[in-house]
Amino acid sequence: MNEGRMSRVGTKAGKEEMGRREMGNVQRSTFNAQRSEGSGKSLWRSAALFERWKLNVERWTFPAFPFPPFPLSPFFLALLLLLSLAAPAGAHIGSPNVVFEGNAGPYPVRVVVRPPQVVPGLAEISVRVLRSGVTRVAVLPVHWKAGKGGAPPPDVAKLVRGETNLYTATLWLMAAGAYSVDVRVEGGAGAGDVMVPVNAIATARLTMPRWYGAGLIVLASFLFVAAVRLVGAAWGEAVVEPGAPVSPPVQRRALLAMVGSALLFSGMVVGGKAWWDAVDRDYRTNRLYRPLPMTTDVRVTNGVPILRLRVDLSGGGQRYWTPLQPDHGKLMHLFLIRDEEPDTFAHLHPIQRNSTTFETAVPPLPAGRYSVIADVTHETGFTQTLVAKADFPEPSLLLDNVPRRGGAADPFCGVPLRRMTGAAVTAGAADGRGTNGTNPASSVPAATAFDPDDSWHFGDPLPVGNPPRPGTCRLPGGFVMEWENAAPLTTRQEAALRFRVRKPDGSPAPLESYIGMSGHAAVRHADGGVFAHLHPAGTISMAAQEAFIRREEKTERKSPTSVAQRGHVAAAPTAAASAVLTMSPAPVAEVVSFPYEFPRPGRYRLWVQVKCDGRVLTGVFDAEVAEGR
């Protein structure tokens, strides 16, 4: 039996099985610890469970590190746990919260996941069900390596006091990497499920408040002196008969014991400090997530500037860079925003040259320094946002339609590129798209071609009317985009950003599918500290959602009864999930809405991209976001 088990462990499948079991131990031990705390067990019992949890986490996720030269009491371990829970909590840039809007079976839901700043840590889950008749909402965190087979039973979300359709729960995210938060809604219409992908990464190094540290120093000094005096009493007065005087030899022995204990305790403090510094150094070096650096260079080929992007994997970056999978059919979504003034915006889709190098032709954008922001999704479901800077030269003279500030009344928005002779360098003149490099008559090689879905825009917000009408933006061809902003925008509040496009005659304009959906949006804070790429489904990566759905379907095909036996959320795809899997075009609509939660107050710029009459149109809006309660 043991020999057979060892032979299985030696195989790849055996290693994966052991990994799932170990991850299951991590999540199950955490679930048991939460149940123990909730049932009012003793602090010693909770501390023992925490020690078990800590060892499991270290075994699975982190490299071993030396323990302190003195034993840690259960009370101290429990105190560390309480401090980690009480610490303040702090992909896209500066926008860590994940927002999803879609269907969990027959129930329309809006899910907000606020991940922790440290891992392991607690994530806050909010589920708003936009339909009545709900009896139960359950949520479950599933790590991409463990699957549902290694997850604990789901937690039941509680109805928020004063609300009728908002449920909330907190979930432990135990290991770094990609998770899916599986949401199950039950009610009179039956049961429905949906998976919401989320990254679990350590993004902050929490510091202790000075007043708290000062209090601990005072308490530690008192304990130090008391411990030394206690040792002296044990070697002095304690060995003398009651009422008898303490002889000089006994006094000297007590003094030596106090000196020895003081040296011993000082060594323990120094050793503990060294251990703590080692742990902190390991956290900052190996566990604290830092976006991978990306370098850029621009070269001109056949008169067309080519932007090359290289992901730098030095310094341990290999562990964060695994094979990519397409998101909306593209391996990378690249955004260019001019630094001098955010009046220029481009949404491009580079070609992957090798595992870490990408290239794209640069549209005829105004010269200057640009922020380069790239979104990618890995096969594991982990998403990353890479940032860099690039300096672009003046557009080539071969391009006769370079945007000019004087033409701002009709914003430059993805216009076709043409040579001065009139020969089309790019296809898609009707909709302002670039070529795919298949035109044999073009002298520009495929390496310098634009993706068919590339688009760009030059211009500030252009409200309609005189005086200007707020919440409107003039588009090329006489179209008008309207922002149906019903309420003031505040931080930490769900916001449905709704937009409608009207034809020149004022009638609603049908929105065509653009990269598989009815619209895209980009949100950027004025200081550049926040950037988010939005879809009608929210801030999630639909490729990551697809990866989790396919993985669970594959697991269920192998063992159709394993999930049911554990009482987990079923993995039946929802209608929205099925649309993701098939990448079917979005249905024709007249309104596009983007769910989002602004992370910081201040001034924001929004670029909203839709497709009408075969042409990509970009509306630009500015908005003020106030501090929420």
| Residues β-bridged to residue 333 | 375
Q: State mean pLDDT over 231-241.
A: 89
The verdict on residue 221 lying in a domain is yes
Query: What is the residue range of 217's domain?
Result: 210-287
Within 10 A of 443 (CB to CB), how many other CB atoms are there? Answer: 10
Tell me the CATH number at 529: 2.60.40.1930
Contact 453, 514 (CB under 8 A): yes
Domain final position from 268, 287, 306:
287
Are residues 132 and 60 part of one domain?
no
Q: Kindly report which listed range (107-111, 421-425, 554-558) carries the lowest average pLDDT score.
A: 421-425
What is the reported pLDDT for 587? 56
The verdict on residue 327 lying in a domain is yes
Q: What is the pLDDT of residues 30-89, one digit of tens each?
A: 333 333 334 333 333 333 333 333 334 333 333 333 333 334 343 333 333 333 333 333
Phi, psi of 467 (to 5 degrees): -70, 160
The verdict on residue 191 lying in a domain is yes
Are residues 342 and 247 part of one domain?
no
Please report the sign of the dihedral spanned by the C-alpha atoms of residue 176, residue 181, residue 182, residue 187.
positive
Q: What is the pLDDT of residues 149-195, one digit of tens each?
A: 888 889 999 999 999 999 999 999 988 889 999 999 999 999 999 99
Are residues 592 and 532 part of one domain?
yes
The verdict on residue 34 lying in a domain is yes
Domain final position from 86, 113, 128:
86
Are residues 551 and 531 part of one domain?
no
Are residues 455 and 308 part of one domain?
yes
Are residues 428 and 335 part of one domain?
yes
Q: What is the pLDDT of residues 193-226, one digit of tens each?
A: 999 999 988 888 888 899 999 999 999 999 999 9
On the CB side of 151, how many CA atoms lie within 13 Å of its CA? 28
Are residues 465 and 439 part of one domain?
no
The verdict on residue 419 lying in a domain is yes
Domain final position from 426, 441, 460:
460
- Share of residues in the chain with pLDDT > 90 (%): 41
The verdict on residue 91 lying in a domain is no
Tell me the CATH number at 456: 2.60.40.10
Within 10 A of 7 (CB to CB), how many other CB atoms are there? Answer: 10
Q: What is the pLDDT of residues 483-511, one digit of tens each?
A: 997 678 999 888 889 999 999 999 999 99
Query: Among residues 333, 360, 374, 326, which one has the least CA distance to residue 449?
Result: 360
210-235 vs 248-282: helix crossing angle, rounded to 10: 150
Are residues 138 and 44 part of one domain?
no
Are residues 375 and 324 part of one domain?
yes
Mean of the per-residue pLDDT values of the chain = 76
Phi, psi of 571 (to 5 degrees): -105, 30
- pLDDT at 419 exceeding the cut of 60: no
Q: What is the pLDDT of residues 248-292, one digit of tens each?
A: 898 999 999 999 999 999 999 999 999 999 998 888 887 788 888
What is the reported pLDDT for 4? 41
CA distances to 254, 455, 481, 519 from 499, in Å = 81, 19, 7, 10
Are residues 316 and 232 part of one domain?
no
The verdict on residue 92 lying in a domain is no
Is pTM beyond 0.75? Reply is no
What total of structural domains would you count in the chain? 5
What is the reported pLDDT for 495? 87
Contact 521, 607 (CB under 8 A): yes
pLDDT band at 399 (very low <50, low <70, confident <90, very high): low
Are residues 446 and 326 part of one domain?
yes
- pLDDT at 18 exceeding the cut of 50: no
One-character DSSP codes across 483-546:
E---S-EETTS-EEEEEEEE-TTSSBPPBBPBTTBS-EEEEEETTSS-EEEEBTTBSS-HHHHH
Q: What are the structure tokens assigned to 496, written together?
A: 């449905």
Instruction: Tell me the three state secondary structure of residue 121.
Output: strand
Are residues 334 and 187 part of one domain?
no
The verdict on residue 349 lying in a domain is yes
